[in-house]
Amino acid sequence: MEQYQGCSFTDNITDQQRLMEFKQVIKETNKFLTRMRNALSKVADVDSAVEVLIKQFDSKDTENIVERWQLLYNMLKQSWIRTHVQQLQDMKQEDREDSYEWRS
Protein backbone atom coordinates (compact mmCIF):
# COMPACT_ATOMS: atom_id res chain seq x y z
CA MET A 1 0.00 0.00 0.00
CA GLU A 2 2.92 2.32 0.68
CA GLN A 3 3.91 2.10 -2.98
CA TYR A 4 0.35 2.88 -4.06
CA GLN A 5 0.23 5.90 -1.80
CA GLY A 6 3.61 7.06 -3.04
CA CYS A 7 2.38 6.97 -6.64
CA SER A 8 -0.72 9.04 -5.82
CA PHE A 9 -2.82 7.26 -8.42
CA THR A 10 -5.92 9.32 -9.14
CA ASP A 11 -8.20 6.74 -10.68
CA ASN A 12 -10.55 4.71 -8.57
CA ILE A 13 -10.30 0.95 -8.77
CA THR A 14 -12.18 -1.71 -6.93
CA ASP A 15 -10.66 -3.82 -4.19
CA GLN A 16 -10.87 -6.77 -6.57
CA GLN A 17 -8.82 -4.90 -9.21
CA ARG A 18 -6.27 -3.85 -6.60
CA LEU A 19 -5.96 -7.44 -5.38
CA MET A 20 -5.33 -8.60 -8.94
CA GLU A 21 -2.58 -6.00 -9.24
CA PHE A 22 -1.07 -7.12 -5.94
CA LYS A 23 -1.10 -10.73 -7.12
CA GLN A 24 0.75 -9.78 -10.30
CA VAL A 25 3.31 -7.71 -8.37
CA ILE A 26 3.88 -10.59 -5.94
CA LYS A 27 4.26 -13.07 -8.80
CA GLU A 28 6.83 -10.92 -10.61
CA THR A 29 8.66 -10.10 -7.39
CA ASN A 30 9.00 -13.77 -6.53
CA LYS A 31 10.42 -14.46 -10.00
CA PHE A 32 12.86 -11.58 -9.61
CA LEU A 33 14.00 -12.77 -6.17
CA THR A 34 14.57 -16.28 -7.54
CA ARG A 35 16.67 -14.86 -10.39
CA MET A 36 18.67 -12.76 -7.93
CA ARG A 37 19.22 -15.67 -5.54
CA ASN A 38 20.52 -17.79 -8.44
CA ALA A 39 22.74 -15.03 -9.82
CA LEU A 40 24.14 -14.04 -6.43
CA SER A 41 24.91 -17.63 -5.51
CA LYS A 42 27.43 -17.67 -8.37
CA VAL A 43 29.42 -14.55 -7.42
CA ALA A 44 32.78 -14.73 -5.70
CA ASP A 45 32.89 -11.43 -3.82
CA VAL A 46 30.98 -8.36 -2.69
CA ASP A 47 31.99 -6.27 -5.70
CA SER A 48 30.62 -8.89 -8.08
CA ALA A 49 27.38 -9.08 -6.10
CA VAL A 50 26.97 -5.30 -6.28
CA GLU A 51 27.60 -5.41 -10.02
CA VAL A 52 24.93 -8.10 -10.51
CA LEU A 53 22.41 -6.03 -8.58
CA ILE A 54 23.18 -2.75 -10.33
CA LYS A 55 22.74 -4.39 -13.73
CA GLN A 56 19.20 -5.27 -12.72
CA PHE A 57 18.29 -1.76 -11.61
CA ASP A 58 17.32 -0.45 -15.06
CA SER A 59 16.56 -3.69 -16.83
CA LYS A 60 14.13 -4.09 -19.71
CA ASP A 61 11.29 -4.18 -17.17
CA THR A 62 11.63 -0.44 -16.66
CA GLU A 63 11.37 0.27 -20.39
CA ASN A 64 8.10 -1.58 -20.91
CA ILE A 65 5.87 -0.12 -18.20
CA VAL A 66 2.32 0.21 -19.48
CA GLU A 67 0.28 -0.86 -16.45
CA ARG A 68 0.12 0.24 -12.84
CA TRP A 69 1.24 -3.12 -11.48
CA GLN A 70 4.38 -2.91 -13.61
CA LEU A 71 5.21 0.48 -12.15
CA LEU A 72 4.67 -0.82 -8.63
CA TYR A 73 6.73 -3.95 -9.30
CA ASN A 74 9.62 -1.89 -10.63
CA MET A 75 9.47 0.50 -7.69
CA LEU A 76 9.63 -2.44 -5.27
CA LYS A 77 12.41 -4.10 -7.25
CA GLN A 78 14.51 -0.94 -7.35
CA SER A 79 13.94 -0.34 -3.65
CA TRP A 80 15.06 -3.90 -2.89
CA ILE A 81 18.16 -3.45 -5.07
CA ARG A 82 19.08 -0.12 -3.43
CA THR A 83 18.71 -1.61 0.04
CA HIS A 84 20.86 -4.64 -0.75
CA VAL A 85 23.55 -2.71 -2.60
CA GLN A 86 23.83 -0.46 0.46
CA GLN A 87 24.01 -3.48 2.77
CA LEU A 88 26.76 -5.04 0.66
CA GLN A 89 28.71 -1.79 0.59
CA ASP A 90 28.34 -1.48 4.36
CA MET A 91 29.62 -5.06 4.78
CA LYS A 92 32.62 -4.27 2.60
CA GLN A 93 33.37 -1.14 4.62
CA GLU A 94 33.11 -3.10 7.88
CA ASP A 95 35.52 -5.70 6.48
CA ARG A 96 38.00 -2.95 5.62
CA GLU A 97 37.71 -1.48 9.10
CA ASP A 98 38.13 -4.91 10.72
CA SER A 99 41.14 -5.62 8.54
CA TYR A 100 42.67 -2.28 9.51
CA GLU A 101 42.13 -2.99 13.22
CA TRP A 102 43.93 -6.32 12.93
CA ARG A 103 46.96 -4.63 11.38
CA SER A 104 47.12 -1.88 14.00
Instruction: Please report the pLDDT score of residue 80 as a whole number.
Output: 95
Number of domains observed in the structure of the chain: 1
Instruction: Please report the pLDDT score of residue 48 as a whole number.
Output: 94
Domain of residue 55: give its range: 2-103
CB 80 within 8 A of CB 67: no
pLDDT tens digit string along 57-99?
Answer: 877 777 788 998 999 999 999 999 999 999 999 988 877 766 6
DSSP conformation class of 13: -
83/100 Cα distance (integer angstroms): 26
Backbone torsion region of residue 43, taken as left when φ is above 0, otherwise alpha when ψ lies between -120 and 50, otherwise beta? beta
pTM for the whole structure: 0.80
